[in-house]
Amino acid sequence: MISFFANLFGYLLNFLYSIIQNYGLAIILFSIIVKVVLLPISISQQKTMKKSIKVQEKLKVLQVKYKNNPEELQRETMELYKSEKMNPFGGCLSGIVQIILLFSVFYLVRSPLTYMKKVEPKIIEDYTTEINADEEKKDAYPEIAIIREKAETDERVRINMEFFGLDLSGIPSKDFSDWKTFVIPVLYVISNFVSMKITTSMQNKKKKVGTDGEEKETEELDIMSQTNKSMTYMMPIIAVSISLIAPLGLALYWLVNNMLMITERLILNKVLKDEEEVQNA
């Protein structure tokens, strides 16, 4: 299934590349188009997140009220989800879409000759065999190696990967001597921190606790927020690990996608907040 989507995305990326003739700019436009197409899912996810915060507040009140009656707590919890018209697993679709997109784009960027340029498998196989015959030229990404070694002599495997002085076929783990290969991964990690911080801050809330019969407000993160807090530190570590061993084209896509996601979340949060204020007025 991942190959199917990678092949589908390849048609779009190749179309954009045929117009722009620059791999980096094509990836940026590709990222914008995908983000626009997935906007309805993003809006739904943002609404679910805001509704989840409210439900968590009410759920904690129920947990205090029925702390000695598990059966009644379960019944009231189900009634709460039903009255709020909220599915506890409603966020699964967005997660599945993100996973499919992540791996599909990885396949696409790892093998651009197969999924983007649609080069015949026999040509790729012959060039791979030739390059691998030289131990020093062996590469974990054979199609990237083909582009590097054969693009000047064979138009069929030529892709313009120069992007503002950066070679998007570069792999940081192989090019430690070239500091420029680390520019995009570092920017991506920074954007990842910003994105996770914004997500976590949006899920901060005040809850009312009545363990002693009196209500008081305390600032607290719900379970989802606590998870995101941990991810704030874990995701950049995972991100930089992958960025160091993958072609820079993948890191560029992630960077642009993160920047678009940050912008999207800020705008949607403002719009949804204004809508909520109008409804409560």
- Evaluate whether 231 touches 242 at the Cβ level (below 8 Å): no
Sign of CA dihedral 223, 202, 47, 281: positive
Give the tokens for residue 269: 């949060």
Beta strands in the chain (DSSP E): 162-163, 166-167, 204-209, 216-221
Nearest 5°: the CA angle 233, 31, 2 is: 80
Angle between helices 248-280 and 92-110 (to 10 degrees): 160
Predicted confidence at residue 90, as pLDDT, reads 57
Residue 69, CA distances (Å) to 48, 64, 207 in order: 28, 10, 21
The label of the residue with tokens 């993948």 reads 250
Per-residue pLDDT of the chain (281 residues; tens, 9 = 90+): 889 999 999 999 999 999 999 999 999 999 999 999 988 888 877 777 777 777 777 888 888 888 888 888 888 888 887 777 666 555 566 678 878 888 898 899 989 999 999 999 999 999 999 998 888 777 788 999 999 899 989 999 999 999 998 999 888 877 777 888 888 888 888 888 888 777 777 655 444 444 444 444 444 444 444 554 555 556 567 666 777 788 888 889 989 988 998 998 888 888 877 666 666 65
Residues 236 and 94: their CA atoms lie apart, in Å, by: 21
